[in-house]
Amino acid sequence: MVELQGQYFDGQTSEGKPAKLLCTSSSFELQTADNYHCYTLDEIKLQPRLANINARFELNDGAVFEAADQPGLDDIYKQLHQGALHQFIHKLENNLVYIVPTLVVAVVVMWALIQFGIPQFAKSVAYQIPVEYESRMGKESLAIIDKAFCKPSKLTAGRQAFLRSKMLTMLGNPDAYQVEFRYCEAIGANALALPSGIIIFTDDMVNLAKHDEELLGVFAHEVAHVDNRHTLRHILQDSITGLLIVVLTGDVGSASSIAAAVPTVLLQTKFSRDFEREADIQAAGFMVKHNLRPVHLANILERLEKEYGDGEESSGFLSTHPLTKERVKYLTNYNNK
Amino acid sequence: MEQQAVAQTKIPFDFQGRGGEYFGIWIVNLLLTIITVGIYTPWAKVRTKRYFYGKTFLNNTNFSYLADPIAILKGWLIAVAVFIVYSVSTNFVPVLELLFMILFVLVLPLLVVRSMAFRARNSAWQNIRFDFKGRYGEAFKVFILWGVFANILSLGLLFPYVQYRQTRFLLENSGYGKSDFEFKAKTADFYIIYLIVLGIMTLFSILMVAAGAGVGAMMEVSATLTPEERYNQIAVNSQMVMVPLMMLMYFFIFAYVQSRVGNLVWSNVKIKENGMESTMRARDLMWIYFTNILAITLSFGLLVPWARVRATRYRFDKLQLIPAGNLDQFVQAERNHVNALGEEMGDVFDIDIGI
């Protein structure tokens, strides 16, 4: 038999009375100065154990008996056992021996989820989304870009047609792609791949090139983005990461929203870089196949960085791309293989 | 002598949470949340709240958080489903964003009312539950008509009044047992706080321009540069002084508003003639927030539990109850059931309803 000292609240008024609870294997006798009541096992509910906060016995008449940590309480928790899971969680939370491995496991699981889980999931979902949805998305994106950032190209119609046909003839399925030229002061020298195979070159980009082969290299890079559904995967990965961060920080409170925003942005940048790397690798292979030297792509990348630096003007293209030096090195070496 | 007598009648709130203790709960929550793909979230939330409530004492009795994780799970599942539909569909069809916005505006007051009710009715002290009786219509008025439209149309001039109205709505509809909260603050009190903020901003701006100009003037500019390049170089150097100053200003104003509004609100709450007194200081809050952010960043988030316990402790250290009489006389109200949907929507979409 265990005797617990505590406070009794009848649930009708906020008055608290000193009380004791006599616990036997089959009944719980509650005694206050002016009251005595015997409860059976199923008339009493004990809140799951948590750190060393007061044990809260909820009685079936709406009253509550609260007891601070004291000898004998352990036995009562075991007697009114609330399932092995609750016991296990309480044990985990309270022993450093368990906490440290828990911490390590948590970090590893999170890392694996972000490194492999989310990208893999996004990839399999992206390939299952019907092409019609993607093409609508592409058209809407183009309309928004035209409205907000770009004007019709100032290149001659002949130059446009020449580049377009040169690019598209390299492809086995030219109908799946659409090459657009735009004059976009706000974006600077850039090339964009929209979902559904729309590839936009800005006039500045075309003018930056010293050889048309360089533009074909950029084109190959953008085609790789399209073929691998990078835009769609990027959107999915960003959404899922956002959700993950929301879920994980949900119990941390809103004070941490700044802290939560930082990893989200960092992860999204990392995803972008991974896609750029993948696109470079495929572009190099594609160029070699069409008797173009990948160093052309390296050259225009280098010039792009020289012209635009890593300043704000190029934020759309460079900041989310891997280090230009690294990419140039890869593409130049590819040529020598 | 007299002051001492007054001081003795106040009952301080006492938060006894410890960073180390909460760390265990926090890290286990994190792990189980990850490996259950979020399903554990409701249990994590209940355990966290039970810990913070259970460690907060008033008059030697702790508060209790009584929500049922299963009820929260239902709300959470719906909220997550809506979030997924929202984030995926608006990416494919950007026009939908507008539709969601309208829907959101209509639903927001409901979320406020429901989550306040859920939170209040699952909070108790001395086995008497808190209560919230606010209705959708009034919530729509203060959060949408005033909170969105009046704020925008008045270019922010009405902001202090709107904040007063929202706080009054949230508090006057709250209760402890059968006793309703009263809110005694006046609109003018809110305006005074923001007038001082305006003063601080003006002062800082003058300081910033002066510092920026000073740096510009002291700088040596190479004579070989063109006027345009010279101008750019001066601008860059001035910014290096002005940007940190600006961040300091925002940080200070944030802490100032938090402490002053918090003090104003809680010092003007009355429950059955019992009053409260809140005495937070802007510089304390600024220090706590600053060191917390630093600690969290340098520890890669591991010090989040410590930071949270510390901020909570400060909050309750500066809060006292001024009792009018016996605290045993509060009577339980009839119980109404509220589901957790509003609460979870608010959590998943990160809506913070704070008083």
Smallest Cβ–Cβ distance between B347 and the set A95, A250, A259 belongs to: A250
Cα of B2 to nearest chain A Cα, Å: 30
The answer to whether A259 contacts B45, with C-beta atoms less than 8 Å apart, is no
Would you state the pLDDT for residue A70? 84
For chain A positions 276-335, those within 8 Å of chain B (CB to CB) are none
Would you state the pLDDT for residue A82? 63
The stretch B193-200 carries a mean pLDDT of 94
Q: Is the pLDDT of residue A285 over 60?
A: yes
Cα of B311 to nearest chain A Cα, Å: 10
Ranked by mean pLDDT, the top range of A66-70, A125-129, B182-186 is: B182-186
- In chain B, residues with a C-beta closer than 8 Å to the C-beta of A64 are 127
Strands of A2-9's sheet in order across: A35-40, A27-32, A16-23, A2-9, A64-67, A55-59, A44-46
Would you state the pLDDT for residue A6? 93
Cα of A197 to nearest chain B Cα, Å: 15
Of chain B, the percentage scoring pLDDT greater than 90 comes to 43
Backbone angles phi, psi at A242, to 5 degrees: -55, -45
- In chain A, residues with a C-beta closer than 8 Å to the C-beta of B45 are 250-251
Closest CA to B212 of B248, B229, B236, B247: B236
The answer to whether A250 contacts B31, with C-beta atoms less than 8 Å apart, is no
- In chain B, residues with a C-beta closer than 8 Å to the C-beta of A52 are 21
Cα of A328 to nearest chain B Cα, Å: 31
Smallest Cβ–Cβ distance between B126 and the set A16, A52, A251 belongs to: A16
- In chain A, residues with a C-beta closer than 8 Å to the C-beta of B177 are 14
Structure tokens at A143: 């309309």
Is the Cα torsion angle B27, B31, B36, B37 positive or negative in sign?
positive
Q: Measured between alpha carbons, how far is B257 from B263 in angstroms, rounded to an integer?
A: 10
Q: Is the pLDDT of residue A218 over 60?
A: yes
Tell which wins on pLDDT, B7 or B223. B223
Smallest Cβ–Cβ distance between B50 and the set A16, A50, A246 belongs to: A50
Instruction: Establish how many alpha carbons lie within 13 A of residue B99's alpha carbon, considering only the half-sphere containing its beta carbon.
Output: 9
Q: Measured between alpha carbons, how far is B242 from B216 in angstroms, rounded to an integer?
A: 11
Asked whether B15 and B313 are in contact (CB, 8 A), the reply is yes
The stretch B250-276 carries a mean pLDDT of 93
Smallest Cβ–Cβ distance between B304 and the set A53, A110, A252 belongs to: A252
Q: Is the pLDDT of residue B290 over 50?
A: yes
Mean pLDDT estimate for chain A: 79
Would you state the pLDDT for residue A21? 92
pLDDT band at B348 (very low <50, low <70, confident <90, very high): low
CB proximity list for A52: less than 8 A, separation 6 or greater: A69, B21
Smallest Cβ–Cβ distance between A50 and the set B47, B297, B332 belongs to: B47
* pLDDT per position as a tens digit, A158-216: 888 888 887 888 887 877 788 888 888 777 778 888 877 888 888 888 888 888 878 88
The answer to whether A12 contacts B125, with C-beta atoms less than 8 Å apart, is no
Taking CA–CA distances from B25, the nearest residue in chain A reads: A93
Of chain B, the percentage scoring pLDDT greater than 70 comes to 88
Would you state the pLDDT for residue B346? 62
Residue of B31, B68, B77 to mutate for A, most A C-beta atoms under 10 A: B31
Vertex B80: Cα angle to B76 and B82 (nearest 5) = 120
Q: Is A69 exposed, middle or buried (0-12, 13-18, 19+ CB in 10 A)?
A: exposed
* pLDDT per position as a tens digit, B43-55: 998 999 999 999 9
Would you state the pLDDT for residue A101? 82
Taking CA–CA distances from A195, the nearest residue in chain B reads: B92
pLDDT band at B221 (very low <50, low <70, confident <90, very high): low
Cα of A329 to nearest chain B Cα, Å: 33
How many A-B residue pairs are in contact by the CB < 8 A criterion?
150
Q: Is the pLDDT of residue B340 over 70?
A: no
Would you state the pLDDT for residue A322? 61
Smallest Cβ–Cβ distance between B34 and the set A51, A66, A110 belongs to: A110
Q: Measured between alpha carbons, how far is A127 from A140 in angstroms, rounded to an integer?
A: 20
The answer to whether B328 contacts A239, with C-beta atoms less than 8 Å apart, is no
pLDDT band at B1 (very low <50, low <70, confident <90, very high): very low
B111-115 contacts, C-beta under 8 A, 24 or more apart: B111/B342, B111/B345, B111/B346, B111/B351, B112/B139, B112/B143, B112/B342, B112/B346, B112/B351, B112/B353, B113/B139, B113/B342, B114/B338, B114/B339, B114/B341, B114/B342, B114/B343, B115/B342, B115/B343, B115/B345, B115/B346, B115/B353
* pLDDT per position as a tens digit, A310-330: 443 334 444 555 667 777 778
- In chain B, residues with a C-beta closer than 8 Å to the C-beta of A53 are 50-51, 54-55, 62
Backbone angles phi, psi at A198, to 5 degrees: -85, 125
The stretch A266-291 carries a mean pLDDT of 79
Taking CA–CA distances from A59, the nearest residue in chain B reads: B127
Of chain A, the percentage scoring pLDDT greater than 70 comes to 85
The answer to whether A93 contacts B28, with C-beta atoms less than 8 Å apart, is yes
CB proximity list for A37: less than 8 A, separation 6 or greater: A29, A30
Would you state the pLDDT for residue B2? 42
The answer to whether A53 contacts B296, with C-beta atoms less than 8 Å apart, is no
Tell which wins on pLDDT, A260 or A119. A119
Smallest Cβ–Cβ distance between A239 and the set B35, B44, B91 belongs to: B91
Would you state the pLDDT for residue A178? 83
Cα of A33 to nearest chain B Cα, Å: 17
Smallest Cβ–Cβ distance between A106 and the set B27, B41, B93 belongs to: B27
Least confident of B38-42, B131-135, B242-246: B242-246
The answer to whether B93 contacts A136, with C-beta atoms less than 8 Å apart, is yes
Least confident of B100-109, B148-157, B213-222: B213-222
Cα of B323 to nearest chain A Cα, Å: 14
Would you state the pLDDT for residue A317? 41
* pLDDT per position as a tens digit, A7-47: 999 888 888 999 999 988 888 999 998 889 999 888 988 88
Asked whether A192 and A204 are in contact (CB, 8 A), the reply is no
The answer to whether A13 contacts B328, with C-beta atoms less than 8 Å apart, is yes
Would you state the pLDDT for residue B11? 93
Structure tokens at B355: 């008083």
Least confident of A124-138, B10-24, B53-67, B175-189: A124-138
Q: Measured between alpha carbons, how far is B218 from B157 in angstroms, rounded to an integer?
A: 40
Would you state the pLDDT for residue B66? 92
- In chain B, residues with a C-beta closer than 8 Å to the C-beta of A136 are 92-93
Cα of B46 to nearest chain A Cα, Å: 9
Least confident of A216-230, A272-286, B82-96: B82-96
Mean pLDDT estimate for chain B: 85
pLDDT band at A137 (very low <50, low <70, confident <90, very high): confident
The answer to whether A99 contacts B28, with C-beta atoms less than 8 Å apart, is yes
Would you state the pLDDT for residue B182? 95
Q: Is the pLDDT of residue B174 over 50?
A: yes
pLDDT band at A335 (very low <50, low <70, confident <90, very high): low
Cα of B1 to nearest chain A Cα, Å: 32
Would you state the pLDDT for residue B184? 93
Smallest Cβ–Cβ distance between A247 and the set B35, B41, B54 belongs to: B41
pLDDT band at A252 (very low <50, low <70, confident <90, very high): very low
The stretch A249-258 carries a mean pLDDT of 44
Tell which wins on pLDDT, B174 or B38. B174
The answer to whether B28 contacts A102, with C-beta atoms less than 8 Å apart, is yes
Stated pTM of the model: 0.75
Of chain A, the percentage scoring pLDDT greater than 90 comes to 9
Would you state the pLDDT for residue B220? 63
Q: Is the pLDDT of residue B351 over 70?
A: no
